[in-house]
């Protein structure tokens, strides 16, 4: 698996330390182990997890601004844990309403020694921090309109929303609520992943 991971990283022009690689591979090992009992992801093959979960998450890193992020509807920690590993100087709050997912994330944080991840079990509407976040990230969480409606209170002034999407339609982009605008739509390159991947960056109007 390590050889394949190195090939994927090279194909995506991503340069990581050996420690970061080992932590990401360790995350896949833990996800595979827990998945058998807790059904955390529909992806069963660890080799596929490398592509569809780890690579799909870390290709977003160059497009993030700031140091304080929240991953809403994080599930088993995606994209928050891979991003926290490749972005050690940033802090990530991982939010999910399901206890089994948060228990898994706590175990990952403990076993991998991640000091920049805070798992929180809560509904997104009921959670906030006084200072706000630089970035609100979601992956397969909701439609763009719903994400902005439910998470509008989370970013600080000038903070951004980052929605990881597959195919992105003009219809979905046009349904951005009043008070927001789409700043950018980035086509993401995920080696060996079938289908399109996009990152939609949204800001609040000043």
pLDDT tens, residue by residue, 121-178: 999 999 999 999 999 999 977 899 999 999 999 999 999 999 999 999 999 999 899 9
Residue range 74-94: mean pLDDT, rounded = 98
Of residues 51, 63, 55, 130, the one with CA closest to residue 85: 55
Q: Is 125 annotated as a binding residue?
A: yes
pLDDT tens digits, one per residue of 43-57: 999 999 999 999 999
Q: Is 73 annotated as a binding residue?
A: yes
| Distance of alpha carbon 34 from alpha carbon 38, whole angstroms | 6
Domain range for 117 is 1-204
Q: Is 111 annotated as a binding residue?
A: no
pLDDT tens digits, one per residue of 98-120: 999 999 999 999 999 999 999 99
Q: How many domains does the chain have?
A: 1
Give the CATH number, domain containing residue 161. 3.40.50.150
Of residues 32, 65, 82, the one with CA closest to residue 136: 65
pLDDT tens digits, one per residue of 58-78: 999 999 999 999 999 999 999
Q: Is 99 annotated as a binding residue?
A: no
pLDDT band for position 206 (cuts 50, 70, 90): confident
Of residues 173, 174, 168, 178, the one with CA closest to residue 204: 178
Residue range 23-33: mean pLDDT, rounded = 98
CA atoms within 13 A on the CB side of 34: 20
| Distance of alpha carbon 172 from alpha carbon 48, whole angstroms | 28
Q: Is 124 annotated as a binding residue?
A: yes
């Amino acid at each position: 698996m390590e050889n394949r991971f190195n090939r994927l990283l090279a194909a995506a022009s991503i340069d990581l330390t050996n420690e970061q690689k080992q932590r990401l591979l360790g995350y896949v090992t833990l996800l595979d182990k827990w998945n058998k009992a807790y059904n955390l992801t529909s992806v069963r093959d660890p080799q596929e997890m490398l592509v569809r979960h780890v690579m799909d998450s870390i290709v977003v890193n160059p497009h993030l601004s700031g140091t304080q992020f929240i991953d809403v509807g994080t599930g088993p920690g995606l994209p928050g844990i891979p991003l926290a590993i490749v972005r050690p100087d940033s802090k990530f709050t991982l939010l999910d309403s399901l206890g089994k997912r948060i228990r898994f994330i706590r175990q990952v944080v403990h076993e991998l020694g991640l000091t920049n991840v805070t798992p929180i079990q809560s509904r997104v509407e009921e959670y906030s921090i006084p200072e706000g976040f630089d970035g609100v990230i979601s992956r397969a969480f909701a439609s763009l309109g719903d994400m902005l409606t439910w998470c509008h209170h989370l970013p600080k002034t000038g903070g951004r929303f980052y929605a990881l999407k597959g195919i992105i339609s003009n219809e979905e982009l046009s349904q951005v609520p009043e008070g927001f605008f789409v700043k950018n739509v980035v086509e993401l390159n995920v080696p060996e992943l079938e289908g399109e991947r996009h990152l939609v960056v949204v800001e609040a109007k000043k």
